[in-house]
Amino acid sequence: MQGQPVILSLKGDCAELPRLIEELRGIGEGLGMTGRTLNQVEVALEEHFSNIVFHGCGDGAEHSIQVSLSVDNGVLTMEIVDDGIAHNPLENPLPDRNAPLEQRKTGQLGVLLMRKLMDECHYARQGDRNVLTMKKRVR
């Protein structure tokens, strides 16, 4: 797997999540990733994928999501490309975790979690596509 990416072309549909997670687990187990690290990566990928489906693909049109998984020098890189609404999730305001529960806005905890679990997260808009790259040291 070193250097050769696994590329998955998926529909903008949460029904694709099991297939995506199965591929990720296969890569993680092949690398000997610990259960904790693999779970962290799964949560981050699942969070971003579901955000794309629910927020970026909600216009009723058919959308596609391409996920590239690769490992180089002990770093897992996940690049997620979608054709949904232009949106940089890394610019979302972080939730005020000190505010009383009844005053907190809904949402944003998943993006916070994604940012905390991964070592690096980068966003770019390339043409009509959102590109989020997440990296995690796996050994």
What's the pLDDT tens digit per position in 51-83?
999 888 777 788 999 999 999 999 999 999 999
When divided into structural domains, the chain yields a total of: 1
Domain ranges, residue 75? 6-137
Evaluate whether residue 24 is within a structural domain.
Answer: yes
CATH of the domain at 98: 3.30.565.10
Write out pLDDT tens, residues 82-129: 999 999 998 877 767 777 777 666 666 778 889 999 999 999 999 999
Evaluate whether residue 1 is within a structural domain.
Answer: no
Where residue 79 falls (left for φ over 0; alpha for ψ -120 to 50; beta otherwise) is beta
Nearest to 31 by CA among 63, 72, 67: 72
* First-last CA distance in the chain: 14
Q: Which residues of the chain form beta strands (DSSP E)?
A: 6-11, 64-72, 75-82, 120-126, 129-137
Evaluate whether residue 106 is within a structural domain.
Answer: yes
Evaluate whether residue 92 is within a structural domain.
Answer: yes
